[in-house]
Structure 1
Amino acid sequence: MAGTENKVEFGLSNVHYAPYSVTNDEIVFETPIPIAGAVSITSDPIGEATKFYADNMVYYVVNSNQGYEATLSIALIPQQFAIDALGEELDSTDGVINELANVQGKPFALLFQFEGDQKATRHILYNCTANRPSISGNTKEEGTEVTPNELTLTASPIKIGDKLMVKTKTTSTTNETIYNNWFEKVYKKSTTVDSE
């Protein structure tokens, strides 16, 4: 049954990340892990329109979709995210976390939602990598001002099934089971018919 479409969206929440691996040419996502304290997310498309001119005009335009450059602002970067996505290492003996120059971060899917006047819209960016965040802080003055951490992300296309995916999101007609399980398991279009 079709639902009513949102007129407006507002309020970022339910940010999760899901590391993934590739097994037998198939993307295998881990269970999404919540990131508390989401403040904002912005994303700018990567790619450009290429114009072909003929007959003294723009005869044909092809658009290149190379994903997004995004900035995620959160209250504090979780330690597990630093390990899973930024490649930092926890020294379990000394209890310190180390950033190593010769270790690369690992890719992950980013899941989140924007509230709406009818229903929240849930999103997935499938193939994200995170850059090391800046280190910043201010002295405490008369009041306490919390400075959120910013993560810059690149969301690139990735082959899932027979499609080159960048992102997906729910709509007013999304199946309720898919919608309700959005943050339990990374959504991938099923290519097989389940038999009971």
Structure 2
Amino acid sequence: MAGNKVQFGLKNVHFAPYTETDGAITYETPIRIPGAVSLTLDPRGDMTEFYADDMLYYSASSNDGYDATLAIATIPEKFAIDALGEEKDEDDGVLTEKADAKQKPFALMFEFDGDVKAIRHVLYNCSANRPTVSGETTTNTREPQPNELTMVASARPTDYAVKTKTTPETTAEIYDAWYDKVYEKTVPGGV
């Protein structure tokens, strides 16, 4: 099957909080984040260059993951609690951001459409910063203002995986179940 010539569009953004116990990561069921507007992934890491014999003799890059910016219509309450560490009072239903809140790690799943088939991605180890909050007065037009989340996507500590994506050869079984659980390679007869 031929691959995409172009990509466009962003949809099906999900997050899956995880816990790490004795070096093993357990992902929760992915939760949809509706209203995706844009996603930018900027590589983190430096290029090391070594010059000898009057030329570039050796070069290597380091993969420190990505700096990510996700613009969405609104921050879902579940994300605010599960990823940003905000607290919801059970008595009055008020959601509170605390100075000592601990952000919680999660996987981020999404897809970019293409001219042939959408490519689905997972970033395995993300942490998000508090969102940018802004608003403007309404005039004769109503322009929605998305919220922006800045995140760092880094290597998963168990196997150093940063990001995985589908390809034209990805089986239908894996592709169709992409948002049911965080994709992790299963080894036949293995653990």
TM-score interval for Structure 1 and Structure 2 normalised by the shorter chain: over 0.9
Aligned with residue 161 of structure 2, among 154, 161, 165: 165
Measure, in 2, the Cα distance between the counterparts of 1:102 and 1:75: 26
Deviation at 1:8, TM superposition (A): 1.0
1:91 maps onto 2:69 in alignment: no
Structure 2 counterpart of 1:185: 181
- Tell me the SS of whatever aligns to 2:79: helix
Residue-pair matches, total = 190
Q: Deviations over 1:132-151 (max 9, x none)?
A: 11221011111111101100
1:21 maps onto 2:15 in alignment: no
**Runs of 5+ consecutive residues of structure 1 not aligned to the other structure:** none
Measure, in 2, the Cα distance between the counterparts of 1:192 and 1:172: 22
Structure 2 counterpart of 1:6: 4
Identical positions, percent = 56
Where has structure 1 moved over 3 Å in runs of 4 or more?
A: none
Structure 2 counterpart of 1:80: 78
Structure 1 counterpart of 2:61: 63
Aligned with residue 134 of structure 2, among 116, 133, 136: 136
- Tell me the SS of whatever aligns to 1:165: coil
Where do residues 120-159 of structure 1 align in structure 2 (5 Å cutoff)?
Answer: 120-159=118-157
Deviation at 1:193, TM superposition (A): 2.1
Deviation at 1:192, TM superposition (A): 4.2
Measure, in 2, the Cα distance between the counterparts of 1:35 and 1:170: 20
Where do residues 94-113 of structure 1 align in structure 2 (5 Å cutoff)?
Answer: 94-113=92-111
**Runs of 5+ consecutive residues of structure 2 not aligned to the other structure:** none
Deviation at 1:176, TM superposition (A): 1.1
Measure, in 2, the Cα distance between the counterparts of 1:36 and 1:173: 28
1:45 maps onto 2:43 in alignment: yes
